[in-house]
Structure 1
Amino acid sequence: MHWAYKIAERLIEKYPEKEVFTCASGISPSGPVHIGNFREVVTTYFVVKALESYGKKTRFIFSWDDFDRFRKVPQNVPASYEKYIGLPYSDVPDPLGKSTYAEYFQWQFEHSLTRFDIDPEFIYQTEQYRSGRYESYIWLAVEKRREIYDILMQFKTGEQKEEEREEFYPITLYCEDCGKDSTDIQMVVLERREVVYRCVCTRNQRKILSNRHQIKLNWKVDWAMRWKLEDVVFEPGGRDHSSETGSYNVSKVIAKEIFQYEAPDYAAYDFIRLKGADVKMSSSAGNVLTLDDLFKIYSPELILFLFAKYQPEMSFHIGLDEDVLRNYVEFDRYQLAFNKGQLKDDFIISALKLACAKVHTKEPSFNQIAGIYPLVHFQLDALQRVLNTADEKYSLDELRMVSDRVEEWVKKYNKHRVINVNEQPNQTYYASLPRQEQEHLQKFVDLIKGDIELPAEALMTHIYAICAQEDKKEMKANQKALFQNIYKLLLNEKSGPRLSLLISALGIKKVVELIDFRR
């Protein structure tokens, strides 16, 4: 059984009377949201879909932690943004000057999710905090600050200090003057809900906070509070939150002992890495691949399938090299077998369903286009003509769905796949061939020079027949040699696009010019 359905069944068993199953995810808009962050969202999405397949009502919430502090200037943001460190992301200006820093990256990611038909309920934490929605929970946490300190210390190796315990507050305060969190809380008068603090912007002069909506709960308390408020029953978390002393286990205790709420079911997910990189993706480090980058190479269904086919706790790499071809071949093979009722692997069947995979009857294969498109110099009308000769008829719009991805993949990531046709006949190579192989090449030339124009399948049958003989093993060896020699003389490679399409792309005149040495 697929992991998403296992989690769904566990939730249904745990909450038999639950009318609506709230499943959560969340990201801080610290920079471009990369495909590693996407694992947070898609893990929840798959569990939601599994619950719905069992007839359950769901609520899929996605929290933007835009009230978190701006910690570090990412590489793709001007260095001058260092002056904004300490402000909430929602108060930092947009690099393009149109909105805010948070909204800039939020919009990009939300727009990307629409390509998958993923439509969660977005919750913006700045709005929630500044609306006063969390106020009662904030003061409850302040009232129980010593108990929270004790819980935090259970997960630390250092000794508990009474002085530190008395000075501990589970909140962050943004200064009313400079807007930053460079503050130090001096005291809190609970009866008046009054906070006395100092800030470096006023040389640490004592001030009384007048706007209580400048207060934010610290992360592990904040997470526990939101579980309670939103009635969350499932939320995943990254490996960095999932250790024995990690955020989830700490927040789990805070949720129970401070907010009297049982922590939601949890799934730890591992990082996704770029192939060839030994470190996890990081917006601040600049080594990221966004969903928009991935859409330029992969279809939305295939992207979802790549995530669905791995257990959340398994790390995997995203490569833009030959892995792309392998991923498309595997996906197409699974889809075809599934639609024919021949796929028996229940896990893969579930992964395909979660990815909304289906056979695109009017879409050519990525691998086929990858073999032809560079040959015709990325000319779409030429690609259409070549495919027509193989009785594969597509409109330009249908071809463009795949050809744009192929062109991006070849030109940006795999320039070596730009196929160069030999300019002159390779007399030296031809002369090095055994007499029999030369004769097979001559028969091939006579075949394609014939007056009768053969359909692609018939042409291939006739080409294979050139090497026909009773010894099947030797016949296959001769056929392999024939094809290798043709590709070598045309492209200086041992293999290439399907031969009938290659002939159509180059034209018979050019093929004969490079292979016929009897002149």
Structure 2
Amino acid sequence: MARNRSQVPTDWVTRAADEAIRHAGEGKPVTCASGASPSGPVHLGNLREFLTVHFVADELRRRGVEVRHLHSWDDYDRFRKVPAGVPAEWSEHIGRPLSSVPDPWECHASWAEHFKAPLREALAEMGVEMQEVSQTEMYRAGTYREQVLLAIRERAQVETILSRYRTKKAEDEAEADPAEDLSRFPYKPYCRSCGRDTVTVTSYDDATTDLAYTCNACGDSYVTNVATQDEGKLVWKVDWPMRWSFEGVDFEPGGADHATPGSSYTVGKDVVKIFGATAPSFVAYGFVGFAGMQKMSSSSGGVPTAADALRILEPAILRWLYVRRAPKQTFDIDFGPEVVRLYDEWDALTKKAGNPEKRDVAVLAWERASATAAVQLPIAKVRVPFRTLSSVADVTAGSAALISQVVSHVGFPHDDVADLEPRLAKAMQWTHEFVPAEDRTTVRDSPATERIAALTEQESGWIRLLLDGLADLGAELDQDAVTTLVYGVPKLAHGLSVEDAPTDEVKADQKSFFKLLYNLLVDADRGPRLPTLVVALGTEKVRSLLTN
């Protein structure tokens, strides 16, 4: 799917892809890397790590460049704390690799796998393909053994670099020999007895590569041979640049905190030279916040994940939220009323994208969001505005079949309920989960007898005109005809035709008539669009609620 680049507007993805090619060398394969620790739910903030790399790799594929999206699971990181909702006895696993901690929910092989699985499914739904690497497997297989030995041999140089960036130095640091300061040893084993990283290195023999340590948790002492045994890992600020070299990484993003003075990327740019490589091109990404998600359920602590968001957002729209902004820009994802506006904005952009003459950076973001180099993201065969679907879902209490029937009558004919997916399911879920109870439409079970008995002569006349008009329209109500009738009742009451322009007096009566209908149909002063409400309820239901 190579494209004529002279016709493509330039965005942050274009620029990052150009930088990745420059790093790799023109005509050479490109490696774009992401990384994450599966220590808990991979929330929507973490998702930026994956999608930033995905969009750059996908741009390169569109150009015909050989590229891989390599994702490292840092599942060899230590388990740091027991989160809320997890049995207190899991504290015994603190200090062990995430891949060695049991899954307290007993649905996956380990703690790490429990949090990887839902993210994999969500990424697949969004069209993200990546080559996954487990750091547990890499270290335990001895894959990095030569790199580990190199880092240990060059530990004095490593420590010189690291100390250069430390903001607070020990008083005797200047006098200490970096090669002999075992407290800053670049490699840390997991205890052979209890499996924790709570160890103190007590000696290291450069000739034999024997490393001795004592565990501060269980008290046991062991000797591990770094050249033949694989029982630990490099410390983070050495591990990351080591992997850049080993994997030949050309592009990798990171949180804005990674690019500050003394942070991982800043230090890594110098450390990676020890491994004979250069740091990849880098973009820092900003914070992603959440709003309107009080009821958002997820695996831990109510932090929304990609899987949670995909219950109410089409995959293309979730992708679009990330690609339309430069990575450094922060933003919030709002799961409240803002969702309706978001869908409207997406639909307007979709319409604009259909006109080649209007192709700009906004349309380019739409293109990146709606399809990858390989696949088109799912869209409804019949695209109904989200606000219409959610309104109808509200009025019909979430019956898909009834929603489908009403939607056909309000101007979106289709052959099957499936023609409305995936948007229909998203609208139903959003209405059920995120519309507050006080904002939902509750259709009356029986007529408001006291209010109907107290109708004025004018109000009674409005009701008669509406019911007569509905009877004339027949059993199958049409949205346009009902709209004309509802807005036309006050006109008819003033001796005008439904086609006449409303006078100021008619406009005032329309407001009063609409409020009356809301009071009698849903016991509220306002609600969904009245024509949609009337079509959803049907003539007989409306008649039963407007008469005693």
Question: So what's the TM-score if we normalise by structure 1?
Answer: 0.89
Following TM superposition, by how much is the alpha carbon of 1:394 offset from its aligned partner in structure 2, in angstroms?
A: 4.3
Q: How does 1:245-394 map to 2 (within 5 A)?
A: 245-256=262-273, 258-275=274-291, 286-341=301-356, 343-344=358-359, 346-356=360-370, 360-390=380-410, 392-394=413-415
Q: Which residue of structure 2 aligns with residue 411 of structure 1? A: 432
User: Secondary structure of the residue that 2:39 maps to in structure 1?
Assistant: coil
Q: CA, structure 1 residues 510+287, in 2 after alignment: closer, same or farther (shift >3 Å)?
A: closer
State the shift of 1:377 in Å: 2.3
Structure 1 residue 200 and structure 2 residue 216: aligned?
yes
Letter in 2 for 1:318: I
Cα shift at 1:507 = 2.3
- Work out the percentage of aligned pairs sharing the same amino acid: 32
Structure 1 residues 287 and 462: CA distance shift in structure 2, 3 A: closer
Q: Bigger shift: 30-39 or 488-497?
A: 488-497
Instruction: Indicate yes or no: 2:200 matched with 1:190.
Output: no
Give aligned pairs, total: 511
2-structure distance, mates of 1:78, 1:5: 47
Q: In the alignment, what sits opposite 1:147?
A: 157
SS at match of 1:486: helix
Contact 1:72 1:284 in 2 (8 A): no
Amino acid at match of 1:322: P
- 2:213 pairs with 1:213: no
Distance 2:174 2:202 in 1: 18
Q: 1:128 & 1:106 partners in 2: Cα distance?
A: 17
Q: Tell me the CA shift for residue 474 of structure 1.
A: 6.4
Which segment drifts farther, 490-499 or 144-153? 490-499
1:510 aligns with 541
Aligned to 1:243: 260
- State the AA in 2 paired with 1:353: E
Displacement of 1:306:
1.3
Aligned residue in 1 for 2:176: 163
The CA distance in 1 between the partners of 2:311 and 2:275, in whole Å, is 45
Cα distance change of structure 1 residues 433 and 78 upon mapping to structure 2, 3 Å threshold: farther
SS of residue matched to 2:230:
helix
| Residue 128 of structure 2 corresponds to residue 118 of structure 1 | yes
Match of residue 33 from structure 1:
42
Distance in 2, matches of 1:415 and 1:4, equals: 38
**Residue 500 (str. 1) matches residue 540 (str. 2):** no
Partner of 2:447: 424
Deviation at 1:91, TM superposition (A): 1.4
Q: Unaligned stretches of 5+ in structure 1?
A: none
Range with greater deviation from structure 2 (129-138 or 204-213): 204-213
- Which of 8, 19, 41 is the matching residue for 1:10? 19
Q: How big is each residue's C-alpha offset from its partner over 1:8-61, in whole Å with a ceiling of 9 and x where there is no partner?
A: 123335554241111000111101221211110000001111222233211110
Distance (whole Å) between structure 2 residues aligned to residue 203 and residue 238 of structure 1: 37
Q: Unaligned stretches of 5+ in structure 2?
A: 1-9, 372-376, 492-498
Which piece of structure 1 moves more, 354-363 or 474-483? 474-483
Offset, 1:420: 0.9
Q: How many angstroms apart in 1 are the aligned matches of 2:399 and 2:450? A: 31
Aligned to 1:22: 31
| Partner Cα distance (1:438, 1:6) in 2 | 67
- Cα shift at 1:400: 5.9
Contact 2:38 2:73 in 1 (8 A): yes
Question: Take 2:347 and 2:102, find their aligned partners in 1: how far apart are those partners?
Answer: 44
Q: Is the 8 A contact 1:139 1:190 kept in 2?
A: no
TM-score, with structure 2 as normaliser: 0.85
For residues 479 and 90 of structure 1, do their structure 2 counterparts lie closer, same or farther at Cα, with a shift above 3 Å needed? same
Aligned to 2:481: 458
Cα distance change, pair 471–276 in 1 and its aligned pair in 2 (3 A): closer
Distance in 1 (CA, whole Å) between partners of 2:255 and 2:349 is 29
Q: 1:30 to 1:451 in 2, by over 3 A?
A: closer
Q: Would the aligned equivalents of 1:441 and 1:515 in 2 still touch at CA under 8 Å?
A: yes
Structure 1 contact 426–489 (Cα < 8 Å) conserved: no
CA distance in 2: counterparts of 1:349 and 1:188, whole angstroms: 59
Query: d(CA) in 2 for partners of 1:62 and 1:472?
Result: 65
SS of 1:216's partner is: strand
CA distance in 2, matches of 1:86, 1:451: 72
Matched AA of 2:539: I
Q: Secondary structure at the match of 1:298?
A: coil
Read off the aligned partner of 1:77 and give its amino acid letter: V
In the TM superposition, what are the counterparts of 1:167-186 in structure 2 within 5 Å?
Answer: 167=181, 168-186=184-202
Match of 1:103 in 2: 113
Distance 1:261 1:385 in 2: 63
Displacement, 1:277?
Answer: 8.9
Whether the aligned pair in 1 keeps the contact of 2:293 and 2:335 (CA below 8 Å) is no
